[in-house]
Amino acid sequence: MTDNTATLRSTLPRSTKSGGWLSSLLMRFEALRGYLLLSPTLLIMIIGICVPLFILVGMSLWTQHGFEFDKSLTLANYFNVAEQPIYKALLARSILISGGCALATVILSYPMAYFVAFHVHRHKMVWIILMTLPFWTSYLLRVFSWKIILGYNGVINSGLIGMGLIDQPLEFLLYSPLAVVITLTHAWSAFAILPIYVSLEKIDRSLLEAATDLGDGPVRRFFRITFPMSLPGVIAAALIIFIPTVGDYITPTLLGGPDGIMLANLISAQFGKVNDWPMGAALAIALMVTVALFSVVFVIISRKVTERIT
């Protein structure tokens, strides 16, 4: 045994001399090193995501009977999701609202990112941090403040009445899909600014000069060079906004009103008032699959665009 370790030691590279068998093992097997580095994260992923997901999938195959679970496996819940129009309508609305939200966020964040990337020359980081200010307050507080701004007697309505532009408060402002889109857009804008900023910052300035040199004015140059080159950042931003907002239920609950309810509200109701956990699980899975499909499409488009650019 001692002989064996001795020969083993002698075959190892010199640099591992000082360490024990573990370090020499790690030097040799890069994959092992990788797993070891990953292990804290991996552990959290397994406990926090994989296990609950497994439970969720399992539960979605059960059915609820009164206060009891019928644990015989069945796809009944999924058939239910497919057949009941309310689920499909809410799923479609969720996608529309968060799609609109992603679009609005990107459109509103782009000029800000553009400004910092091209027109700020000093203290760029300060500007970026200032733009992430909305994130410094609680999400709930932000939602409530929008309630005050958009409300029946809120800032906008009383302002417009005060200016004599309208007689009656505008009712579509609060408790509507519009309110949900406005609030979510504001809440998530920082997430969109960063990837767009990075993609703009990466553009080689001499490309812009070349376009100018070849006869493009500022507007034409933007649409022929700047915008296409920043598309990877735009797509990433849209995806980053779309994924979390599609499952949001706080904003729709507080600001959405009856027309602004999204699928996530229904899912939370299944686990609460309705008390049909298996149905809630099936709906959650259905939403997750839909988001995954959208993400895959986004990623493929983004790949294609990036390939064209680099």
Partner 1 sequence: MSNNSSFISIQNVSKSFGSVAAVSDVSMEIGGGEFFSLLGPSGCGKTTLLRMLAGFETPTSGEIVIDGQSMSAVPPHQRPVNMVFQNYAIFPHLNIHDNIAYGMRKERLPQAELDKKVEEMLEMIKLPGYGKRRSHELSGGERQRVALARALIKRPKVLLLDEPLGALDKQLREQMQMELRALQRSVGITFVFVTHDQEEALTMSDRIAVMSKGRTLQIDSPTELYEKPITREVAAFIGTMNFFDGRVVSVDNDQIIVDAGALGIVKGIKDTTNFGVGEMAQIAVRPEKFSLSIGAPNGVGNFIEGNMISTAYLGERSYFHIAVNGIDQPIAVSAQNSASADINIRDHKGQVWLGWPDAAVVLLKQDASHSQAQ
Which of the ranges 176-184, 225-233, 256-264, 289-297 carries the binding residues for partner 1, by CB under 8 A? 225-233
For partner 1, the closer CB: 83 or 213:
213
Tell whether residue 121 is a contact of partner 1 (CB under 8 A): no
For partner 1, the closer CB: 222 or 294:
222
For partner 1, the closer CB: 97 or 117:
117
Tell whether residue 304 is a contact of partner 1 (CB under 8 A): no
Tell whether residue 219 is a contact of partner 1 (CB under 8 A): no
For partner 1, the closer CB: 2 or 310:
310
CA–CA separation, 95 and 287 (whole Å): 10
Whole-number minimum distance, CB 307 to partner 1, in Å? 9
According to DSSP, the residues that pair with 259 across neighbouring strands are: none
28: Cα separation from own chain's centroid: 38
Yes or no: say if 241 and 247 are a contact pair by the CB < 8 Å rule. Answer: no
Member of 207, 289, 296, 300 binding partner 1 (CB under 8 A): 207
For partner 1, the closer CB: 211 or 240:
211
Helix (H, G, I), strand (E, B) or coil at 64: strand
Tell whether residue 200 is a contact of partner 1 (CB under 8 A): no
Task: Please state the length of the chain.
Answer: 310
Residue 213: Cβ-neighbour burial (10 angstroms; 0-12, 13-18, 19+): exposed
Tell whether residue 214 is a contact of partner 1 (CB under 8 A): yes
C-alpha dist (Å) from residue 247 to 136, 205, 261: 22, 39, 11
How is residue 168 annotated by DSSP? S
Whole-number minimum distance, CB 102 to partner 1, in Å? 23
Tell whether residue 70 is a contact of partner 1 (CB under 8 A): no
How is residue 206 annotated by DSSP? H
Residue 237: Cβ-neighbour burial (10 angstroms; 0-12, 13-18, 19+): buried
Member of 42, 46, 204, 292 binding partner 1 (CB under 8 A): 204
* Interface residues toward partner 1, by CB under 8 A: 204, 206-207, 209-217, 221, 224-225, 228-229, 308-310
